[in-house]
Amino acid sequence: MEFIDLKAQQDRIRGSIERRIKKVLNHGIYILGPEVQELEEQLANRVGSRHCVACASGTDALLMALMAYDVGPGDAIFTTPFTFMATAEVILLLGATPIFVDIDPQTFNLDAQKLQEAVHTLVQRNGTLRPKGVIPVDLFGQPADYDAIGKVAKEHGLFVLEDAAQSFGAEYKGRKAGSLGDIGATSFFPAKPLGCYGDGGALFCNDEAMAEKLRSIRVHGKGHHKYDNIRVGINGRLDTLQAAVLLAKLEIFDEELALRNEVAARYSKGLQGRVVTPVVAPDRTSVWAQYSVLTHRREDLIKKLNSKGIPTAIYYPKPLHLQGAFSTLDYTRGDFPLSEKIADAILSLPMHPYLRAEEQERIVDVLIGGL
């Protein structure tokens, strides 16, 4: 049994992938080739955004967005500690300071009320840090509460960078993930609901000047040509072969999202009352990048499931404020109790569109038998 079955997906679309890759091999434009532009157009249409800028990874997408806002030393960027390293890592890379904000107890996304409190505390402190932006994370495939977060951001003059690395295809009040902040960033890491066969990412915005700035940053701060460098940038270009793979996967993406929701519904029905199952807010949808439950018997269940050949994962075992990489921020255990509580109990089960009902029944039976 696979935790994420990319082979089953590849078997289904192998012909389309090979045709598209062969086309790239024939024209020989391996970086930012025509498939990249085609991909950007399709992604922008899906998200409902005027501009899409494809890039080399989800991490680069976040970094490029912060660079476009000229984030640097003295700037405070608010985000959640219950997420992958990349979200806060890019803040430190630019010399800015991550200010962590605890999470909503049901969706595990950044809590807007706690954001208001954190910004107010920083402003009242009247120190050297300037509140500049907020990065909500659409955890496990479900968007954060962007209306509430946006209200706080507008009050304090913060930009909102949506970390949609796990939520491409999800919706919030009828709007698509990636379009919910001032700028959106997503990832095409192979394990994502829409993933390539390497690293890849994309940014979304409606402002033309911002899009042009992102395209410049993507290619070493390029101006009119590659030897005209008008700003400091990065090598953030997307390989054309990865765009070709993503175009093939987009052909079946909507169907796969429906299948993911069927898988999640079967899990929730079978596990209800046995463990704490995920909650999707009524004004949102999830693309189920992960199916994660809460249990105080996690280690026992992992051993039981693994002994039966059922893979598991923990997203995330240690919140960012307790990671050594952020030790200079002087956070300690107890500062973000909800993030710590969830990290101690979270357990992710196999989740992909090709997980058969009988496989899920077996997973549920083994899990229940271990309680």
Q: Which domains does the chain have, with CATH numbers?
A: 6-102+109-250 (3.40.640.10), 253-369 (3.90.1150.10)
**In this structure, are strands 159-163 and 183-187 parallel, antiparallel, or unpaired?**
parallel
Task: Say whether pLDDT at 295 is over 80.
Answer: yes
Using pLDDT thresholds of 50, 70 and 90, give the confidence band for residue 127: confident
pLDDT of residue 371: 80
- Reported as a single tens digit per residue, the pLDDT across 224-260 is 888 899 999 999 999 999 999 999 999 999 999 999 9
CA separation (Å) from 180 to 47, 62, 146, 206, 347?
A: 9, 15, 6, 11, 28
Cα separation, 293 vs 367, whole angstroms = 11
Q: Are 134 and 79 in contact (CB under 8 A)?
A: yes
Cis ω on the peptide bond leading into residue 316 (within 30° of 0)? yes
Query: From the CB of residue 93, how many other CB atoms can be counted at a distance below 10 Å?
Result: 15
Alpha-helix residue ranges (DSSP H) falling in the chain: 6-27, 34-47, 58-68, 85-93, 112-125, 146-156, 208-218, 240-250, 253-271, 298-307, 337-343, 357-369
Task: Say whether pLDDT at 263 is over 90.
Answer: yes
Task: Say whether pLDDT at 370 is over 90.
Answer: no
Task: Say whether pLDDT at 297 is over 90.
Answer: yes
Structural tokens at position 119: 């910004």
For the sheet containing 201-205, what is the strand order?
A: 51-55, 201-205, 183-187, 159-163, 130-135, 75-79, 97-100
Please give the average per-residue pLDDT across 326-343, as a whole number.
97
Please give the average per-residue pLDDT across 265-276, as a whole number.
97
pLDDT of residue 268: 98
Q: Are 74 and 50 in contact (CB under 8 A)?
A: no
pLDDT of residue 125: 87
pLDDT of residue 126: 76
Q: Are 367 and 304 in contact (CB under 8 A)?
A: yes
Task: Say whether pLDDT at 130 is over 90.
Answer: yes
- Reported as a single tens digit per residue, the pLDDT across 175-190 is 999 999 999 999 999 9
Please give the average per-residue pLDDT across 289-313, as a whole number.
97
Residue type, 334: G
CA separation (Å) from 133 to 42, 84, 103, 160, 330?
A: 28, 18, 17, 6, 21
pLDDT of residue 325: 97
- Reported as a single tens digit per residue, the pLDDT across 53-109 is 999 999 999 999 999 999 999 999 999 999 999 999 999 999 999 999 999 999 999
Higher pLDDT, 127 or 40: 40
pLDDT of residue 160: 98
Please give the average per-residue pLDDT across 355-365, as a whole number.
97
Total residue length of the chain: 371
Tell me which residue of 248, 221, 249, 247 sits closest to 233, measured CA to CA: 221
